[in-house]
Structure 1
């Protein structure tokens, strides 16, 4: 890994950590989701997984460690791999609208997967799952809308810098 790539990844992790900590007041609105998934969509799955794991571990020092941290890392990893496959192996066109839709759907699926993992942990049944999932739907909608809005107004404009295609001038 060269110095430019390492520096870019460290910068992305720092942005994700800071925004995750300071945006915690808005439930499930995270720049982290968009950055991880945009890296995966643009064929940088390894970078996506590095930013995912590093950010989750560092923010856990501030927000608290627990079993959910492992679930979050796994969940974002699954979503990153899924989006990587959709856009790079199945070859869905990488248009702004397709990326926004993928980010929105991923935000909703994130909540579903987290709830599913929690139910398996507590040895729940389908009623436990239905109750937990019904309670999480407003937050999942928030995550979905947040991902789309953040992508359209911020990430889309910075996408080439996030993926390393463009560099900031000295």
Structure 2
């Protein structure tokens, strides 16, 4: 029976290197609440390398970095929340940027804005998970986390156009 889950040495290396980069960046930015480039990296890897690679990179990042930044039941919720936004990105928002031609706004600008929107969506999903986990009213977590979610969204909008050409260049060099 042939397995459909095929990991070449090159793919394993890429996932390991990008995960290590994300862990280092998450740790480096840990003193700035919710200001991190890793969300942009996860979103970009979903379009450059595929959704499964992006979910692997994200899961490894969250698991490994949690040993440095505190491990708890929230790590599972973080992985779940990031998976939700990666699926929304891959199958809804990123394809939508290919069709939007409003006011001659560049495709990268749309992608950056949608990536920021997903920072808010991530916050709402993770806040909902926390409310469920701790048996608290949903709105208390949403209100308490609003400033963090806005910071996450704004940082993702800023990091996305900076990281996109780097990861695309890595992919183009691989194909040559």
| TM-score between the two structures when normalised by the length of structure 1 | 0.87
CA distance in 2 between counterparts of 1:160 and 1:49 reads 18
Describe how 1:18-29 pairs up with structure 2 within 5 A.
Answer: 18-29=24-35
Report what 2:63 is aligned to: 57
SS, match of residue 167 in structure 1: helix
Residues 26 and 36 in structure 2, CA contact (< 8 A), matched pair in contact too: yes
SS, match of residue 174 in structure 2: coil
Describe how 1:90-109 pairs up with structure 2 within 5 A.
Answer: 92-93=97-98, 95-109=107-121
Report what 2:166 is aligned to: 158
CA distance in 2 between counterparts of 1:41 and 1:101 reads 16
Q: Is there any run of 5+ residues in structure 2 with no aligned partner, and where?
A: 1-6, 100-106
Residues 43 and 86 in structure 2, CA contact (< 8 A), matched pair in contact too: yes
CA distance in 2 between counterparts of 1:29 and 1:168 reads 32
Q: Is there any run of 5+ residues in structure 1 with no aligned partner, and where?
A: none
CA distance in 2 between counterparts of 1:42 and 1:106 reads 18
- One of 74, 81, 94 as aligned partner of 1:68: 74
Query: Could you tell me how far 1:63 is from its partner in structure 2?
Result: 0.9
3-12 or 27-36, larger mean C-alpha shift: 3-12
CA-atom RMSD in angstroms: 2.1
Query: Could you tell me how far 1:91 is from its partner in structure 2?
Result: 5.2
| TM-score between the two structures when normalised by the length of structure 2 | 0.84
